[in-house]
Amino acid sequence: MVQHISGSGLRRQLMFWLAALAVFIFFLMMFRTILLPFIAGMALAYFLDPVADRLERLGLSRMWATVVILVTFIVVFVLSLMIIIPILASQLNEFIQHIPGYITQLQTYITTSNAAWLPGWLSTQTDTIKENFSKYLSEGVGFLGTLIAQIWNSGKALVDIASLLVVTPVVAFYLLLDWDRMIAKVDGWIPRGHVATVRAIAAELDSTIAGFVRGQGSLCLFLGIYYAVGLSLIGLNFGLLIGFLTGLLSFIPYVGSTVGLVLAAGVAVVQFWPDYVHLIIVVVFFFSGQFIEGNILQPKWVGKSVGLHPVWLMFALFAFGAMFGFVGVLIAVPAAASVGVLVRFALSRYLESDLYYGQSTLVEIAPDPGVSEK
C-alpha cells in the first residue's frame, strides 16, 4: 500500500519535530551541570519499575512497593559505599602507583625472552618486534593509567556531590511512585489520529531500551561480581578492582572483556612469572566468563532483538560524552536506541511511500481508467 502525504503536512511535521529536537538539545546544553541527579533518578526509576509492578501483583500497594524498593536500594548502596568502595579506592591508588614498575618488568620479560621456539623467518625480526612491542606497551599502559586516574578523580568528585546522593533517591522515589500515571498522562497528549503509530513506536522503544539497559545492566553487575570474586580467589593482585572494572566496561560489547583480559594477564605475568599455571588459570577463567555471558546470560537477559550495533553504541557513548559530559554518557544508550527505532520507522515509511516507488511505478499500480492496457 502506497501512502500519500501532502507536502504541507509533511513539512509541518518535519518542522515540529526538528524544533522539538532543537529545544531538547538546548535544554541539555543549558542545564547539563545540574541534570545528573535527575537523569540518574529517572534511570533508576525506569530500571526498577518492573520490580514495583511485580510487588504490586504480589499484593503490595504502589506506595509500599516503592518504599520497599528504595529502602532496599539505599541500604545496599550505603553498605557498598562503606565496604566495597574503600577497598576499590585503595586498590586503584595502589595499582596506579605500581603501573611504572609493571611496565618495566613486562619490558624486561619481553626483551630477555628466548625466541628459539619461533620460526626462522620470524626469529630474525625478534629484536625489532620486541622493541616496537615494548614501545607500544609503555605508551598504551601509560595512557591507560592516565585514563584510570582521570576517571577516578571525576568519580571522587561525583561522590562528593551531595546532590547526587540526596536528590537522586528522592527523584527516583517520586518517579517510581507515579510512573504508571505519568505514562497514562503522556498517552493522553498524543494526537488521536496518530495514537496507534506512536504507541507502536513507544512499545518498540521501551522493548529496545529495557532489553539493553535492564538486561545489560544486570549482566554487567553479574560479570563484575563474578570476575572480582574469581580473580580474588585465584590470588591475583588487584583482582577485585580488575573484576569490577571488567563488569563496568562490559556495558560496551567486547570492550570490557578485552580490557579485563589484558589487565589481568599483564598483572598475572608480572606476579606469577615463570609460573605458567596461574597465568593459564587466569586466562581460562576469563574465557569461562565469556562463555557464560555469550551462551547463557546474554540470550536470556538481553536477547537478540535489541538492535544496537556495538559500533553504533560506542559512537553514541563517545559522542554524547563529548557533548554533555557524564550526563551524556547516561543518556547515550537510550538516545542511541531511540534514534535506531526512529530510523527504522522512517525507513519503513519511506519503503511504502511514492518517494521509493517513483511516479512511473505509481502509474503502473493505479493506472488511469481511461487508458487501455497494452
Helix 215-234 vs helix 239-249: crossing angle, to nearest 10: 160
What single DSSP character describes residue 253? Answer: T
> Whole-angstrom Cα distance, residue 199 to residue 222?
33
User: Does position 7 have pLDDT exceeding 70, yes or no?
Assistant: no
Q: CB-based contacts of 235: which residues, under 8 Å, 6+ apart?
A: 278
* CA dist 255 → 227, 245, 326 (Å): 15, 11, 19
More confident residue, 215 or 284: 284
What single DSSP character describes residue 352? Answer: T
The amino acid that residue 152 corresponds to is W
Q: CB-based contacts of 202: which residues, under 8 Å, 6+ apart?
A: none
**What are the cell numbers at 136?**
607500544
User: Does position 226 have pLDDT exceeding 80, yes or no?
Assistant: yes
Compute CA 257 distance to the chain's CA centroid, rounded to the nearest angstrom: 14
Share of the chain above pLDDT 90, in %: 1
Please give the pLDDT value at position 44: 83
What single DSSP character describes residue 299? Answer: I
Please give the pLDDT value at position 29: 78
Compute CA 242 distance to the chain's CA centroid, rounded to the nearest angstrom: 18
The amino acid that residue 177 corresponds to is L
Average pLDDT in the chain: 75
Please give the pLDDT value at position 264: 86
The mean pLDDT of 103-114, rounded to a whole number, is 64
Please give the pLDDT value at position 101: 74
User: Does position 239 have pLDDT exceeding 50, yes or no?
Assistant: yes
User: Does position 8 have pLDDT exceeding 70, yes or no?
Assistant: no
The amino acid that residue 339 corresponds to is V
User: Does position 69 have pLDDT exceeding 60, yes or no?
Assistant: yes
> Whole-angstrom Cα distance, residue 174 to residue 162?
19
What single DSSP character describes residue 150? Answer: H
> Whole-angstrom Cα distance, residue 99 to residue 73?
35
User: Does position 1 have pLDDT exceeding 80, yes or no?
Assistant: no
Q: Are 185 and 175 in contact (CB under 8 A)?
A: no
Q: With cut-offs at 50, 70 and 90, classify the pLDDT of residue 362.
A: very low
> Whole-angstrom Cα distance, residue 77 to residue 44?
13
Of 32-36, 76-80, 158-162, the one with minimum mean pLDDT is: 158-162
More confident residue, 35 or 178: 178
- Of the segments 81-90, 97-106, 140-149, 273-282, which one has the largest average pLDDT value? 273-282
Of 11-15, 135-139, 215-219, 316-320, the one with minimum mean pLDDT is: 135-139
DSSP 157-214: HHHH-HHHHHHHHHHHHHHHHTHHHHHHHHHHHS-GGGHHHHHHHHHHHHHHHIIIII
Share of the chain above pLDDT 70, in %: 74
- For residue range 121-151, what is the model confidence (pLDDT) as tens digits? 444 455 565 555 556 555 555 555 565 555 5
Of 30-39, 69-78, 173-182, 278-287, the one with minimum mean pLDDT is: 30-39
Q: With cut-offs at 50, 70 and 90, classify the pLDDT of residue 366.
A: very low
Please give the pLDDT value at position 132: 59
* CA dist 90 → 28, 151, 162, 243, 247 (Å): 35, 15, 22, 15, 19
> Whole-angstrom Cα distance, residue 139 to residue 209?
37
The mean pLDDT of 45-66, rounded to a whole number, is 88
Of 153-167, 290-304, 326-340, the one with minimum mean pLDDT is: 153-167
pTM tops 0.85, yes or no: no
Of 3-7, 10-14, 163-167, the one with minimum mean pLDDT is: 3-7
Q: How many CB atoms lie within 10 A of CB 327?
A: 21
Please give the pLDDT value at position 308: 66
**What are the cell numbers at 164?**
547526587
